[in-house]
Amino acid sequence: METLNIPRDVYDAMLRQLQDAYPLEACGILAGLEGQVRRLYAVENRLQSPVAYEMEPSRQLQAMLALEDAGLQMLAIYHSHPAGPQTPSPTDVAQAYYPGVAHVIVSLAQRRRPTSRAFTLDDGRVHEIVLKIV
């Protein structure tokens, strides 16, 4: 996947969730087909940390079953960096368990102007992809 297209309403819902969790990291899954996001699944960060996230396992499983039932694929995992940049941390790269799935990282360092970027993280390699809000 070289481009991830997120509808404006889904993107705005993602930003609201991430802002509501501030100053903690928040996370979830973006689902759709062929690089076109159709649905957001917010998943609780079980670490409740400002510098790390881990999806709560039962909620992550519920989201993955729901997106599969809807005929969708997991296109991206998203999370916030409340005080950091919109680039993957070494931990993000080390814990990228889904090859081919994009990672959307939203920096809330400037809370009134969040910034987002998307990457694939495969085998320790970081590759930026185009993130389009449509």
How many Å apart are CA 74 and CA 39, to the nearest integer? Answer: 10
DSSP conformation class of 22: T
Cα separation, 72 vs 115, whole angstroms: 26
DSSP assignment of 67-111, as one string?
HHHTT-EEEEEEEEESSS-SS--HHHHHT--STT-EEEEEE-SST
Q: What's the CA gap between 72 and 94, in Å, rounded?
A: 26
Instruction: Return the active site residues.
Output: 25
